[in-house]
Amino acid sequence: MIKAEIIQELGRAYAQYAQYIDGLTEEEFLRSVNSKWTAGQQTDHLLRAVKPLSQGLQLPRFFFRLLFGKPNRPGRTYTQLVAKYQLKLQAGGRASAAFIPKDVSYSQKQTLLAALHNHVHKLQVRLTNYSEKDLDQYLLPHPLLGKLTIREMMYFTIYHVIHHQRNIQEMLQPANL
């Protein structure tokens, strides 16, 4: 995906997620099956993932090079990145401490969705300040996937919300009640 497509897809995927979550009843929003995160907790988790990313992209680029080095491999495609993430999950990979959500009440739903929207929007705006070349030459750390180019991190961020929406939809299926 080129930068413009990434920016558009971030907006689309997170708007679709927010619309889905906004339509959940209190019982659905708070439901947990087999100790899985509730929809509220998954929303908090997504916010915990997007917020530092939106904040980090406002740092001067030399910090990325200084802290994380240079890419030493070709960038992955969206499909390749998703496949690597799924393999990590299948191998038992889980969210690290900073990304584990707290308990979330139904009364927090709108606040969480507004904050998520705000940080996704900031992320989109900050991406406009990066060139296509920049997206492939600067690295960011991912707690499960290691160092990713900014483009790869955006691919992950797009897939991440899709993944969590699917998790919630599966958990709310009648067969899982």
Q: How crowded is residue 88: how many other Cβ atoms within 10 Å of its Cβ?
A: 15
pLDDT of 170 above 90: yes
Q: Mean pLDDT throughout 14-43?
A: 95
At 175, is the pLDDT very low, low, confident or very high (cuts 50, 70, 90)?
low
The angle formed by the CA atoms of residues 130, 132 and 138, to the nearest 5 degrees, is 65
Task: Give the confidence band of 176 by pLDDT, cuts at 50, 70, 90.
Answer: low
Assigned CATH for 3-176? 1.20.120.450
**Residue ranges per domain, the chain?**
3-176
Residue 47 CB coordination number (10 Å): 20
Average pLDDT taken over every residue of the chain: 95
- Kindly state the average pLDDT of the residues 50-74: 93
Is residue 73 within 8 Å of 160, Cβ to Cβ? no
pLDDT computed for residue 177 by the predictor = 57
34 sits in the region (left: phi over 0; alpha: psi -120 to 50; else beta) called left
pLDDT at res. 34: 86
pLDDT in tens, 139-164: 999 999 999 999 999 999 999 999 99
Residues 149, 139 contacting (CB under 8 angstroms): yes
pLDDT, residue 173, reads: 87
